[in-house]
Amino acid sequence: MTATHARARLLSVLVCLLLGCLPLLIPWDAGAQPAREVLRAVHTDVLHTTYDGASLKLATRIGTGEYREADPAGLIFNLEDRGSAKVELPDVPAFAFLGKPGDPVWIAPESQDPELIWPGWDTETIAAGVMKDDVVDLTLVSADGPGAVEVFFNYDEFTGVVPRVFSSVDPAYKTLHQPTGRHVHANWSFGALGTYKLVFQATATTQAGATVSSGPVEYTFVVGSYEPPTTPPTTPPTTPPTTPPTTPPTTAPTTRPTSSPTPPACVTAVLSVGHVDVAARTVGSALRFQVKDGTQGTTVWRDPGTVAFQVKPSADEAVPASPSYRFLGAAGTTVWQIPQTQAEDLLWAGWNTESVDYSTLNGPVRWSLDKVAGPGKVAVYQFDQFGEPLISFDSAKTLPQSISLAGPTHAHGNWAFTELGLYELTFTYSATTKSGQQLKDTATLPVVVGSDLGALCPGGPTPTSEPTETPTTGPTDTPTTTPTASPTSSQQPTQDPTTAPTSAPSGQSSPSLRPCTTTSSPTRTPAAGTTGTSTASTTAPGTTLTSGHADYAARIEGSSLTSRLKDGTKTGDPVWRDPAAVTIRLNSAAGTTAPGGAFSFLGATGSAIWQIPQTQKADVVWLGWNTEELTAAQVYGGGVDWRLDKVTGPGRMAVFEFDSFGRPKIIFNSADGLPDRYRIPLGTHAHGNWAFTAAGTYTATFTHSATLADGKQSADTTTLKFVVGPSGGARSFADDSSPAPTTEATTDCKLAMTGGSIGPGLLAGAAVFVLLGVVLVIATRRGIR
């Protein structure tokens, strides 16, 4: 080897050694972490509190239905500066703790807005009896950021109070005594854009007397836009491929799939009463925009080109005086509305992505209003956490406008039209698959406001107001269950049902029923005209319900319509109970005071009342009504008549909801004469407010009646007991078989709606004002059943 070769060999070695040491010369951050997951427009229980028998832990739970857990250290909770997030504070003294009137704050709302992150907390996995007093303390240890942080529940219309939970500036609101077995949401407010570091800690005492703690856990919230930090790569980038992919990526056609039927020259059906959804669904590999028609009690998928909506003349309403409604016109002017809550004789239109396969998508489904042709303006709106209108679409402003539906959604809002006539609403549903494929479907939906259906087909025959054929645009599905994040349905009281048909509808067969476990039943009172007796009770006498979800329901057992109490207060499948064997117990958590004004039917301002609210509240039974077990193949006429026959007790009883402008709608009122009747469409699951004006024991006698598919009338009458008042009242409730007082009530009130799922001691005596639907869409979501 020559000297030249030796020097060359040595030089090569030195170069290799130098290159090998280069990574050591580059500054390295020993604390560098993997990229954090950014949570946007998703449901998350930020403070997911668990106990494994030894350790109390704080983590985060993400998703709806099928949850996954994550370490908060690897997450960014991003409240984007978009949609309804930025709010100007109202000139209401109750909100003074947030700042001065007109100041901006950014809020992740208590009710889900599908465009924003939906943060909450939970202790659902901690069973009763594990912790002393069944309570875990959640404490905001510290907060660092550019503005104040406040967590609070919705404004209480009855008390005029905003219940506060956590505050970064007020030491009085640092610790929440949270009952176990709960899932809670509230408003998270931030005073400025930027990054916040919130440190929380969970502590509790076991039944054995041991103190357990999660220790401090840091959560990072970013309000506004978030850009992940950039770091230089630790390894050289890989060489790009030298050959192009064998097949280029494809995109979905922007026109309607060729498998869709050609829309007829004129629509063949006009939907004017009942439940419909402007829906997106996955069909094969395509995203389809269709109308989910449930007006006949079963689901039919229709092409928007074959169907029209009608907003009846009777849907007219006067625009409220509040300045918040100026987007609809001057105060007192007339608008015609599809209401957010179901009315018996009107169309009830929502939006729905429950049939979309989100597992194939990269991101949300977007629903846009592209164009409006018609004689007036169109707006779709709900309410924000201050009870003000939250506008999703407003044709008075530049179109297109869109909203983001981050997960399977079923929601309802108010659809307002400012003039009579024919409107054509062009909507688009769009999404992107995980492979980058763009999915899109656009169609135009005609809406007739008023009675002139001839405007749909100039020069042609006037279409019928009922469907005349079953389209073949998609498979017929059974009705899906509405997520509890979505608004519950409600209907206006009706008069006596019409005469039953003499024969059953043709071509209908009764579907199979789920088995009903039975035991001996208390004596039942058969209703006049009933065709048979009810089956036995599903439970032994003496069941008392004090919290959780239950429904007063109608179903078919044997060959008869039967009233049942659907008890979902415990985990697992619901138990179907005989109402006569159930006591609903309302303790001090249900107490509040009558607000007066529009609610004067509840009593004098400040007088005590006890109320089951329309939205779930901790330590109060959440009682609704339900016809989801019934189908059009079993019941003729599309619904069940629900009647309150008699009330006994020390005070008045009333059940009520709200209309689209927040006014109470009374369903039952024992004060103004009974019986009261209410029509419940098939497939309904709804909640309202149940109010009692005095402490004591009440019995309420109800009747469900309907015309069965064979043309015969069937009815069932039973009595439900309510025990109302503070704990430790006049008598023991261990034995629920004891007779109720027989004194006839002299009631004269109808009730109002409240809400909020919260811990005792924080909101005892509060009936939180329900914001029906917040954000257009809801969804979902997210239920508490």
The pLDDT tens digits of the residues spanning 728-766 come to 333 222 233 333 333 333 333 323 233 333 343 333 333
Residue 340 has pLDDT above 60, yes or no: yes
Rounded CA separation 468/293 (Å)? 13
Residue 91: pLDDT band with limits 50, 70, 90? confident
Burial grade of 327 (CB within 10 A; 0-12, 13-18, 19 or more): middle
Cα dist from 415 to 56, 111, 377, 408, whole Å: 47, 20, 11, 21
Q: Name the least confident of 162-171, 389-398, 459-468, 689-698.
A: 459-468
Tokens standing for 527?
A: 């209703």
- Structure confidence at residue 555 (pLDDT): 95
Contact residues for 185 (Cβ-Cβ < 8 A; gap 6+): 110, 111, 112, 118, 119, 120, 757
Q: Name the least confident of 59-73, 234-248, 487-501, 536-550.
A: 487-501
Q: Which residue in the block uniquely carries the two structure tokens 């949270």?
A: 178
Q: Name the least confident of 325-329, 346-350, 757-761.
A: 757-761
Residue 427 has pLDDT above 80, yes or no: yes
Tokens standing for 471?
A: 């389209």
- Structure confidence at residue 260 (pLDDT): 34
Rounded CA separation 366/439 (Å)? 10
Rounded CA separation 256/233 (Å)? 44
* 573 against 61, higher pLDDT: 61
Q: Name the least confident of 20-24, 698-702, 752-756.
A: 752-756
Cα dist from 494 to 312, 343, 399, 681, whole Å: 17, 10, 39, 12
Residue 201 has pLDDT above 80, yes or no: yes
What phi, psi does 411 have (nearest 5°)? -145, 165
* 532 against 580, higher pLDDT: 580
Mean pLDDT value of segment 164-184:
93
Q: Which residue in the block uniquely carries the two structure tokens 């506008």?
A: 391
SS3 783: coil
- Structure confidence at residue 658 (pLDDT): 65
Tokens standing for 451?
A: 């009675």
Paired strand residues for 144: 197
pLDDT tens digit string along 42-90? 889 999 999 999 999 999 999 865 678 999 999 999 999 987 789 888 8
Residue 571: pLDDT band with limits 50, 70, 90? low
Query: Structural domain boundaries of the chain?
Result: 37-223, 269-456, 543-724
Name the residue among 219, 226, 162, 225 with its Cα closest to residue 44.
219
Cα dist from 314 to 141, 336, 408, 464, whole Å: 55, 8, 33, 18
Burial grade of 479 (CB within 10 A; 0-12, 13-18, 19 or more): middle
Contact residues for 640 (Cβ-Cβ < 8 A; gap 6+): 554, 561, 627, 630, 679, 680, 682, 704, 705, 706
Cα dist from 498 to 215, 269, 526, 633, whole Å: 65, 24, 21, 19
Mean pLDDT value of segment 202-218:
96
Preceding amide of 237 cis, omega within 30 = no
Residue 24 has pLDDT above 90, yes or no: no
* 573 against 420, higher pLDDT: 420
Cα dist from 677 to 395, 493, 655, 711, whole Å: 39, 6, 12, 21
Mean pLDDT value of segment 493-508:
35
Rounded CA separation 149/189 (Å)? 6
Burial grade of 447 (CB within 10 A; 0-12, 13-18, 19 or more): buried
DSSP symbol at 640: E
Preceding amide of 400 cis, omega within 30 = yes
DSSP symbol at 412: E
pTM, two decimal places: 0.41
- Structure confidence at residue 308 (pLDDT): 93
- Structure confidence at residue 713 (pLDDT): 92
Residue 473 has pLDDT above 90, yes or no: no
Mean pLDDT value of segment 496-513:
32
Residue 411: pLDDT band with limits 50, 70, 90? confident
- Structure confidence at residue 373 (pLDDT): 95
Q: Name the least confident of 22-36, 277-291, 316-330, 507-521.
A: 507-521
Name the residue among 591, 599, 763 with its Cα closest to residue 669.
599
Winning range, highest mean pLDDT, from 91-95, 120-124, 636-640? 120-124
Residue 721 has pLDDT above 90, yes or no: yes
pLDDT tens digit string along 477-490? 333 333 333 333 33
Rounded CA separation 365/356 (Å)? 9
Rounded CA separation 8/119 (Å)? 65
- Structure confidence at residue 114 (pLDDT): 67
Instruction: Give the DSSP per-residue string, 29-54.
Output: -TT--PPPEEE-SSEEEEEEEEE-SS
Longest dimension (CA), the chain: 120
SS3 573: coil
Q: What percent of the chain has pLDDT over 70?
A: 69
Residue 584 has pLDDT above 70, yes or no: yes
pLDDT tens digit string along 597-649? 778 888 888 899 999 987 678 789 989 998 988 888 888 887 899 999 999 99
What is the sign, positive or negative, of the torsion defined by CA atoms of 595, 597, 599, 602?
positive
Q: Name the least confident of 19-28, 221-230, 655-664, 763-772.
A: 763-772
Amino acid identity for residue 306 in this structure: T
DSSP symbol at 683: T
Contact residues for 340 (Cβ-Cβ < 8 A; gap 6+): 382, 412, 413, 414, 487, 660, 772, 773
* 300 against 714, higher pLDDT: 714
Residue 498 has pLDDT above 80, yes or no: no
- Structure confidence at residue 653 (pLDDT): 95
Residue 432 has pLDDT above 80, yes or no: yes
Cα dist from 47 to 5, 125, 204, whole Å: 68, 12, 15
Name the residue among 281, 122, 264, 92 with its Cα closest to residue 186.
122
* 659 against 701, higher pLDDT: 701
Paired strand residues for 276: 293, 349
Are the C-beta atoms of 609 and 603 separated by less than 8 Å?
Answer: yes
What is the sign, positive or negative, of the torsion defined by CA atoms of 557, 563, 568, 570?
negative
Rounded CA separation 626/396 (Å)? 39
Name the residue among 482, 348, 382, 370 with its Cα closest to residue 429.
370
- Report strand pairing: 75-79 vs 37-39: parallel
Tokens standing for 19?
A: 């290159």
Tokens standing for 699?
A: 């019995």
Mean predicted lDDT score pLDDT of the chain = 76
Name the residue among 613, 674, 611 with its Cα closest to residue 642.
674
Please count the other Cβ atoms lying within 10 Å of the Cβ belonging to residue 563.
26
Paired strand residues for 379: 394, 416
Please count the other Cβ atoms lying within 10 Å of the Cβ belonging to residue 126.
22
| H-run or E-run covering 19 | helix 3-25
